[in-house]
Amino acid sequence: MLNCCACVSYISVSGEAFVNKTGQYFSHVFGAEQSLLESFVLKRKLKGPCWLEISNPQMPKLLISYCQNELTVCNPKDIKVVTTNPPPPPPLVVVSLATKTVLNRKQRVNELIAIGMVVHRNMKADSATETAETEVQHYEAVRKVQGTAFPVDFLSSVKHQVSLSLSLSLSLSLSLSLSLSLSRYELTISAESQP
């Protein structure tokens, strides 16, 4: 019996039709369970953070992410890894996010009462980064629990205990706490991207 392979191209939406299929002239379909992303990463040889050369980019009609710049290509072969003299990796802005919740006994759900963000600037993607305290910013948003008030000396005791790099916001509602935290993060990122 002669064993041979054939390369077959098919539309991605019909890929599930070939999973666990056999026939008179074939015994297995390789790659039928592979996702489009996995196939793209393997065929374009994308390995971790790297510089890409993108040919024929187009601006999309509808944005689908929070990226500052969003582009599309019609052919995956228009994306290639830069292998000769790639520039050094750009510095990253890394955000650590922490939340604190309490149980609302009436509704039996956890409610968000505090959000904390630590923003690290100029982090290196390819090696260890020694960050000074001045390059790290802290943002906090705290709201009071429904039916209670903040302690009388809360604000003064918090200011006394924390460093000068902390920005603290007190709010009455969950939506305001989230809005304050996210707007500060977006302002931080947009300020850095300005030339």
What does the domain layout of the chain look like in residue ranges?
A: 15-44, 52-87, 92-193
Torsion angle of C-alpha atoms 150, 153, 159, 160, degrees rounded to 10: -150
**According to the model, what pLDDT value does residue 166 have?**
57
- 141: nearest Cα among 95, 188, 173: 173
**According to the model, what pLDDT value does residue 195 have?**
42
Six token digits for residue 137: 């910013």
Six token digits for residue 108: 């039996």
> For the segment 14-69, what is each residue's pLDDT rounded down to a tens digit?
656 667 777 787 777 777 778 888 888 998 999 877 889 999 999 998 888 878 88
DSSP state of 72: B
What are the distances in angstroms from CA 55 to CA 61, 62, 94, 140, 165?
18, 20, 29, 42, 43
**According to the model, what pLDDT value does residue 189 have?**
46
pLDDT in tens, the chain (195 residues): 567 777 777 776 665 666 777 778 777 777 777 888 888 899 899 987 788 999 999 999 888 887 888 999 999 999 999 989 988 888 888 888 888 888 888 888 888 888 888 888 788 877 787 766 557 877 777 777 777 777 777 777 776 665 545 566 666 565 655 666 566 555 444 444 444
Q: Phi and psi for 111 in degrees, rounded to 5?
A: -110, 140
| CATH code of the domain occupying 92-193 | 3.30.420.10
